[in-house]
């Protein structure tokens, strides 16, 4: 066993405080098939144990939701289907949401991204990437297409069709669309990942309620009017069905996209710095107050 894998396993023991096993009604795609890797860890190892840290601070308002961070972002812990999720709500009239990737950086650690710019109030990985630390599909930053749309067939979660694109547009709105329906006009920032969690209010057809395929999962959704972005990450292991219905049934989202699994992290202002295992990532989503 590699030192990196031992580190992930040790961290996983501390992070995973509850694993809720539901009845098996079918099989979701194997999370070990994701193409995301951390250097020194094989693809199956990278999805074998959690790679994120729990919130450093929480605050419960009497009669209200449990919130985390400094309060700069609207970040709360929601319970859905007996599982807990950190959810950040970002109205685009007050938040600038970006997607960045430096092709020459060889991947970026989330802690370095946060330390480099004190105006960042949120940072998370942008989507599934390849072993060479290149985004698995489309990535647009500041209107420049850095990686082209990927409509090829393949294995792993990215290619579990339909996959989708999350995009921030020049009219101040955002969208999640089936990758085959993506149009570049007006796109300022975008990332492609897969599978799509929800499209037009419908759960991905490969997901099964009660699946025992459990992993940490992160994702992004957009309100039906396109004015609000929701970023979410499970605080323990969850299945695709429950993660998708979190967006649809709890957040009222018709379109949402899976970003990645065990290597994911979600940092908001007021938490301790991201884990040493939070990266390197090929693409990072950040948010700053306008």
pLDDT of residue 64: 64
Q: What is the pLDDT of residues 193-232, one digit of tens each?
A: 999 999 999 999 999 999 999 999 999 999 999 999 999 9
pLDDT of residue 45: 26
Contact predicate 58/66, CB 8 Å: yes
pLDDT of residue 44: 24
pLDDT of residue 176: 98
Contact predicate 80/243, CB 8 Å: no
DSSP states along the chain? --HHHHHHHHHHHHH-----PPPP-S-PPPGGG-----TTS-HHHHTTS------S-EEE-TTS-EEESSSSSEEEEEEETTEEEEEEEEETTTEEEEEE--TTTT-B-HHHHHHH-TT--EEEE-S-B-TTS-BSS-EEETTEEEE-------SSGGGSSS-EEEEEETTS-EEEEEGGG---TTEEEEEEES-EEEETTEE-TT--TT----B--EEEEE-TTS-EEEEEEESS-B-HHHHHHIIIIIS--SEEEEEESTT--EEETTSPPPPTTS--BS-EEEEEE-
Residues of the chain with pLDDT under 50: 1-58, 60-61
pLDDT of residue 188: 98
In DSSP terms, 191 is beta-bridged to: 139, 166
Nearest-angstrom CA–CA distance, 33 and 261: 11
- In this prediction the pTM is 0.82
pLDDT of residue 65: 75
Q: Which residue has the tokens 């859905």?
A: 80
């Amino acid at each position: 066993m590699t030192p990196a894998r031992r580190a992930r396993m040790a961290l996983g023991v501390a992070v995973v405080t509850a694993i809720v096993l539901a009845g098996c009604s079918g099989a979701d795609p194997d999370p070990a098939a994701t193409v995301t890797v951390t250097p020194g860890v094989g693809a199956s190892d990278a999805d074998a144990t959690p790679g994120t840290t729990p919130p450093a601070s929480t605050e419960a308002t009497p009669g209200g939701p449990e919130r985390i961070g400094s309060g700069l972002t609207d970040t709360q812990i929601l319970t859905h289907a007996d599982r807990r999720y950190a959810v950040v709500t970002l109205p685009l009239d007050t938040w600038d949401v970006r997607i960045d990737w430096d092709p020459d950086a060889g991947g970026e650690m989330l802690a370095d991204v946060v330390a480099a710019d004190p105006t960042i109030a949120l940072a998370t990985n942008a989507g599934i990437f390849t072993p060479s630390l290149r985004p698995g599909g489309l990535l647009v930053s500041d209107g420049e297409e850095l990686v082209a749309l990927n409509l090829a067939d393949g294995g792993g979660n990215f290619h579990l069709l339909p996959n989708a694109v999350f995009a921030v547009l020049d009219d101040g709105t955002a969208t999640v669309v089936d990758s085959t329906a993506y149009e570049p006009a007006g796109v300022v920032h975008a990332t492609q990942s897969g599978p799509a969690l929800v499209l037009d209010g419908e759960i991905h057809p490969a997901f099964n309620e009660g699946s025992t395929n459990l992993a940490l999962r992160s994702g992004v959704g957009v309100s039906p009017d396109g004015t609000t972005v929701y970023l979410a990450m499970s605080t323990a292991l969850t299945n695709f069905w429950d993660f998708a219905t979190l967006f649809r049934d709890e957040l009222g989202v018709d379109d949402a996209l899976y970003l990645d699994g065990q290597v994911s992290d979600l940092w908001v202002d007021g938490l301790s710095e991201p884990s040493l295992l939070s990266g390197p990532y090929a693409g990072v989503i950040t948010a700053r107050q306008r």
